A and B are shown apart, each in its own frame.
Chain A
Amino acid sequence: KAGVTQTPRYLIKTRGQQVTLSCSPISGHRSVSWYQQTPGQGLQFLFEYFSETQRNKGNFPGRFSGRQFSNSRSEMNVSTLELGDSALYLCASSSLSPDTGELFFGEGSRLTVL
Protein backbone atom coordinates (compact mmCIF):
# COMPACT_ATOMS: atom_id res chain seq x y z
CA LYS A 1 0.00 0.00 0.00
CA ALA A 2 1.59 3.27 -1.09
CA GLY A 3 2.11 5.83 1.66
CA VAL A 4 1.32 9.53 1.74
CA THR A 5 3.13 11.33 -1.06
CA GLN A 6 4.05 14.98 -0.90
CA THR A 7 5.48 17.11 -3.68
CA PRO A 8 7.72 18.93 -4.02
CA ARG A 9 10.09 17.72 -1.29
CA TYR A 10 12.17 20.88 -1.27
CA LEU A 11 11.60 24.36 -2.58
CA ILE A 12 13.03 27.83 -2.24
CA LYS A 13 10.97 30.95 -2.69
CA THR A 14 11.45 34.65 -2.04
CA ARG A 15 9.35 36.93 0.12
CA GLY A 16 6.09 37.98 -1.48
CA GLN A 17 5.83 34.95 -3.74
CA GLN A 18 3.24 32.23 -3.36
CA VAL A 19 3.63 28.48 -3.16
CA THR A 20 1.42 25.45 -3.72
CA LEU A 21 2.15 22.12 -2.07
CA SER A 22 0.54 18.85 -3.05
CA CYS A 23 -0.42 15.76 -1.08
CA SER A 24 -1.70 12.38 -2.22
CA PRO A 25 -3.17 10.41 0.67
CA ILE A 26 -3.14 6.67 1.21
CA SER A 27 -5.68 5.03 -1.06
CA GLY A 28 -9.05 4.90 0.67
CA HIS A 29 -8.25 7.65 3.17
CA ARG A 30 -10.68 10.53 2.87
CA SER A 31 -9.31 12.79 5.58
CA VAL A 32 -6.26 14.91 4.84
CA SER A 33 -4.74 17.28 7.34
CA TRP A 34 -1.80 19.67 7.11
CA TYR A 35 0.73 20.60 9.77
CA GLN A 36 3.57 23.09 9.92
CA GLN A 37 6.75 22.07 11.72
CA THR A 38 9.25 24.70 12.82
CA PRO A 39 12.14 24.43 15.31
CA GLY A 40 10.90 25.06 18.82
CA GLN A 41 7.22 25.02 17.85
CA GLY A 42 6.65 21.37 17.16
CA LEU A 43 3.89 20.50 14.73
CA GLN A 44 1.09 23.00 14.44
CA PHE A 45 -2.24 22.14 12.87
CA LEU A 46 -3.14 24.12 9.76
CA PHE A 47 -6.39 22.57 8.51
CA GLU A 48 -8.18 19.33 7.74
CA TYR A 49 -10.26 18.31 4.76
CA PHE A 50 -12.76 15.51 4.48
CA SER A 51 -14.73 14.78 1.33
CA GLU A 52 -13.64 18.08 -0.24
CA THR A 53 -14.83 20.11 2.77
CA GLN A 54 -12.66 21.92 5.28
CA ARG A 55 -13.77 20.59 8.65
CA ASN A 56 -11.19 22.08 10.98
CA LYS A 57 -8.86 25.02 10.84
CA GLY A 58 -5.93 26.03 13.00
CA ASN A 59 -4.79 29.49 14.04
CA PHE A 60 -3.02 30.58 10.89
CA PRO A 61 -3.60 33.73 8.85
CA GLY A 62 -5.74 33.72 5.74
CA ARG A 63 -2.61 33.56 3.59
CA PHE A 64 -2.69 29.84 4.27
CA SER A 65 -5.38 28.03 2.37
CA GLY A 66 -6.09 24.59 1.05
CA ARG A 67 -8.45 22.45 -0.89
CA GLN A 68 -9.26 18.83 -1.50
CA PHE A 69 -10.25 17.20 -4.74
CA SER A 70 -12.77 14.45 -5.38
CA ASN A 71 -9.99 11.83 -5.42
CA SER A 72 -8.97 13.00 -1.90
CA ARG A 73 -5.74 14.58 -3.11
CA SER A 74 -5.12 17.88 -1.39
CA GLU A 75 -3.20 21.06 -2.01
CA MET A 76 -2.24 23.86 0.29
CA ASN A 77 -1.30 27.33 -0.80
CA VAL A 78 0.59 30.06 0.97
CA SER A 79 0.40 33.52 -0.56
CA THR A 80 2.58 36.56 0.04
CA LEU A 81 5.31 34.49 1.62
CA GLU A 82 7.12 35.76 4.69
CA LEU A 83 10.47 34.68 6.10
CA GLY A 84 8.67 33.08 9.03
CA ASP A 85 6.86 30.71 6.68
CA SER A 86 10.08 28.75 6.26
CA ALA A 87 9.19 25.35 7.67
CA LEU A 88 8.54 21.71 6.99
CA TYR A 89 4.95 21.26 5.84
CA LEU A 90 3.57 17.84 6.63
CA CYS A 91 0.50 16.25 5.19
CA ALA A 92 -1.25 13.40 6.95
CA SER A 93 -4.09 11.15 5.92
CA SER A 94 -6.47 9.06 7.96
CA SER A 95 -9.34 6.71 7.42
CA LEU A 96 -10.94 8.05 10.64
CA SER A 97 -12.18 4.53 11.22
CA PRO A 98 -11.55 4.12 14.03
CA ASP A 99 -11.28 7.77 15.03
CA THR A 100 -8.19 7.31 17.15
CA GLY A 101 -5.88 10.07 15.99
CA GLU A 102 -3.60 7.67 14.17
CA LEU A 103 -2.42 9.75 11.27
CA PHE A 104 -0.18 8.64 8.44
CA PHE A 105 2.28 11.36 7.56
CA GLY A 106 4.16 12.05 4.38
CA GLU A 107 7.83 12.98 4.36
CA GLY A 108 6.99 16.65 4.11
CA SER A 109 7.75 19.59 1.85
CA ARG A 110 10.56 21.76 3.13
CA LEU A 111 9.98 25.38 2.22
CA THR A 112 12.72 27.98 2.51
CA VAL A 113 11.74 31.62 2.09
CA LEU A 114 14.58 34.02 1.30
Chain B
Amino acid sequence: DQQVKQNSPSLSVQEGRISILNCDYTNSMFDYFLWYKKYPAEGPTFLISISSIKDKNEDGRFTVFLNKSAKHLSLHIVPSQPGDSAVYFCAAMETGTASKLTFGTGTRLQVTL
Protein backbone atom coordinates (compact mmCIF):
# COMPACT_ATOMS: atom_id res chain seq x y z
CA ASP B 1 0.00 0.00 0.00
CA GLN B 2 1.72 3.15 -1.27
CA GLN B 3 0.83 5.87 1.21
CA VAL B 4 2.80 8.52 -0.67
CA LYS B 5 2.45 8.58 -4.43
CA GLN B 6 4.29 10.40 -7.15
CA ASN B 7 2.39 9.50 -10.28
CA SER B 8 4.80 11.08 -12.76
CA PRO B 9 7.98 9.02 -13.06
CA SER B 10 9.62 11.68 -15.19
CA LEU B 11 9.31 15.32 -16.22
CA SER B 12 11.17 17.35 -18.80
CA VAL B 13 11.26 21.15 -18.59
CA GLN B 14 13.13 23.83 -20.48
CA GLU B 15 15.68 25.93 -18.67
CA GLY B 16 14.10 29.07 -17.26
CA ARG B 17 10.60 27.60 -17.14
CA ILE B 18 8.68 26.43 -14.09
CA SER B 19 8.95 22.81 -12.94
CA ILE B 20 5.98 21.44 -11.01
CA LEU B 21 6.35 18.12 -9.25
CA ASN B 22 3.30 16.55 -7.66
CA CYS B 23 2.72 14.23 -4.73
CA ASP B 24 -0.37 12.67 -3.18
CA TYR B 25 -0.74 10.98 0.18
CA THR B 26 -3.41 8.85 1.79
CA ASN B 27 -2.50 8.73 5.49
CA SER B 28 -4.34 11.46 7.43
CA MET B 29 -1.87 11.11 10.28
CA PHE B 30 0.92 12.65 8.23
CA ASP B 31 1.49 16.21 9.40
CA TYR B 32 4.90 17.10 8.00
CA PHE B 33 6.03 16.85 4.42
CA LEU B 34 9.44 17.06 2.82
CA TRP B 35 11.12 17.02 -0.56
CA TYR B 36 14.47 15.41 -1.13
CA LYS B 37 16.66 15.61 -4.22
CA LYS B 38 18.91 12.81 -5.38
CA TYR B 39 21.72 12.88 -7.91
CA PRO B 40 23.13 9.62 -9.32
CA ALA B 41 25.65 7.90 -7.04
CA GLU B 42 24.79 10.25 -4.18
CA GLY B 43 22.45 9.99 -1.23
CA PRO B 44 19.26 12.07 -1.14
CA THR B 45 19.61 15.59 0.20
CA PHE B 46 16.93 17.57 1.99
CA LEU B 47 15.43 20.35 -0.09
CA ILE B 48 12.41 21.90 1.58
CA SER B 49 9.64 20.99 4.00
CA ILE B 50 6.21 22.12 5.11
CA SER B 51 4.14 21.60 8.20
CA SER B 52 0.46 20.76 7.92
CA ILE B 53 -0.41 24.04 9.66
CA LYS B 54 0.83 25.91 6.59
CA ASP B 55 -0.21 25.80 2.97
CA LYS B 56 2.93 27.27 1.46
CA ASN B 57 6.64 27.41 2.19
CA GLU B 58 9.20 29.18 0.07
CA ASP B 59 12.97 28.95 -0.10
CA GLY B 60 14.59 30.79 -2.94
CA ARG B 61 13.60 29.20 -6.23
CA PHE B 62 11.75 26.40 -4.45
CA THR B 63 8.18 26.60 -3.16
CA VAL B 64 6.12 23.80 -1.70
CA PHE B 65 2.33 23.99 -1.63
CA LEU B 66 0.13 21.83 0.56
CA ASN B 67 -3.57 21.16 0.03
CA LYS B 68 -4.66 19.16 3.05
CA SER B 69 -8.24 18.63 1.95
CA ALA B 70 -7.00 17.05 -1.29
CA LYS B 71 -4.06 15.34 0.43
CA HIS B 72 -1.84 16.80 -2.25
CA LEU B 73 1.40 18.70 -2.29
CA SER B 74 3.50 20.12 -5.04
CA LEU B 75 7.00 21.45 -5.48
CA HIS B 76 7.53 24.43 -7.78
CA ILE B 77 10.97 25.31 -9.08
CA VAL B 78 11.22 28.72 -10.71
CA PRO B 79 13.24 29.29 -12.79
CA SER B 80 14.44 25.78 -13.55
CA GLN B 81 18.17 25.33 -14.09
CA PRO B 82 20.14 22.45 -15.65
CA GLY B 83 21.65 21.70 -12.23
CA ASP B 84 18.14 20.91 -10.97
CA SER B 85 18.12 17.74 -13.08
CA ALA B 86 17.80 14.97 -10.51
CA VAL B 87 15.29 12.60 -8.97
CA TYR B 88 12.94 14.30 -6.53
CA PHE B 89 11.35 12.34 -3.70
CA CYS B 90 8.35 13.47 -1.76
CA ALA B 91 8.28 12.25 1.86
CA ALA B 92 5.84 12.42 4.75
CA MET B 93 5.97 11.85 8.47
CA GLU B 94 3.93 12.00 11.64
CA THR B 95 5.20 14.36 14.31
CA GLY B 96 7.46 12.49 16.70
CA THR B 97 8.62 9.95 14.13
CA ALA B 98 11.08 12.11 12.26
CA SER B 99 13.42 9.31 11.33
CA LYS B 100 10.64 7.16 9.89
CA LEU B 101 9.83 8.91 6.66
CA THR B 102 7.45 7.48 4.09
CA PHE B 103 8.76 8.23 0.63
CA GLY B 104 7.17 8.34 -2.77
CA THR B 105 8.73 6.54 -5.72
CA GLY B 106 10.35 9.67 -7.10
CA THR B 107 10.09 11.87 -10.18
CA ARG B 108 13.06 12.25 -12.48
CA LEU B 109 13.34 15.88 -13.56
CA GLN B 110 15.34 16.78 -16.61
CA VAL B 111 15.96 20.45 -17.32
CA THR B 112 16.93 20.97 -20.92
CA LEU B 113 18.82 23.88 -22.45
A interface, CB within 8 angstroms of B: 4, 31, 33, 35, 40-45, 48, 50, 55-56, 58, 90, 92, 94, 96, 99-108
Contact = CB atoms under 8 A, between A and B. Distances in A.
**DSSP majority for the A interface?**
strand
Q: List the 6 closest A-B pairs by CB distance, nearest first.
A: A105-B43, A42-B105, A43-B103, A48-B99, A33-B99, A99-B98
A58 to B, nearest CB: 8
Contacts of B100: 33, 45, 48, 56, 58
Nearest to B51: A100
**DSSP majority for the B interface?**
loop
Given A48-B100, A92-B99, A101 B105 contact: no
Interface of B: 4, 6, 32, 34, 41-46, 49, 89, 91, 93, 95-106
Nearest to A49: B99
Given A101-B34, A101-B49, A42 B103 contact: yes
Contacts of B102: 45
B99 A56 contact: yes
